[in-house]
Amino acid sequence: MTTYQHILVPVDESPISYAAVEHALALAKSLNSQVTLMSVIAVDPFVGVDFYKVAPAITDYFMQAEKKAKERLEEIKLSFDRDNVAVSTKLLHGVSPAEGIMHAADEIGADLIIMGSHGRTGIQKMFLGSVAQNVLTQSPIPVLIVKI
């Protein structure tokens, strides 16, 4: 059996993300693995718009998103700390979620990614896309997809 040394766990505010965290915690405890929790502040759709840098509402929105992501990562980190699992956090900006996840996995030398998937199919998947599907098809390392 492969022993995973470093597990990457992308998280957002969704319940499915927290289900992936629970799986990662259990696996990391049993294998004595290190875990990196990460979030991506997604690519800004207004980046090409002239008023982007001066529009206070937009700037405030992204500052709040970053603050909430940091708070979420720190809150989740506590459960790993309580169980004496080596854990760190990472926050990326300005890339798509799938691209950020792949970059983080490469940067930290992860040998497993555990993430949630909403399990959309058909027309929903075509229009909404799937971060999990993108990571699954791009990743050179194993990806464990958790569905609830």
pTM here is 0.85
Select from 103, 113, 71, 114 the least CA-distant residue to 89: 71
pLDDT category, 141, cuts 50, 70, 90? very high
Residues ≥6 apart with Cβ < 8 Å to 29: 83, 85
Give me the pLDDT at residue 99, please: 95
DSSP letter for each residue of the chain: -PPPSEEEEE--SSHHHHHHHHHHHHHHHHHT-EEEEEEEEPPPTTTTSTTTTT-HHHHHHHHHHHHHHHHHHHHHHHHHHHTT--EEEEEEESS-HHHHHHHHHHHHT-SEEEEE-----HHHHHHH--HHHHHHHH-SS-EEEE--
Beta bridge partners of 114: 144
Select from 14, 18, 11 the least CA-distant residue to 97: 11
Cα angle 118, 132, 20; round to 5: 65
Q: What architecture is domain 6-146?
A: 3-Layer(aba) Sandwich (3.40)
pLDDT at residue 127 above 60?
no
The tokens 């090409």 sit on which residue?
A: 48
44 compared with 7, residue with greater pLDDT: 7
Averaged pLDDT for residues 3-21:
93
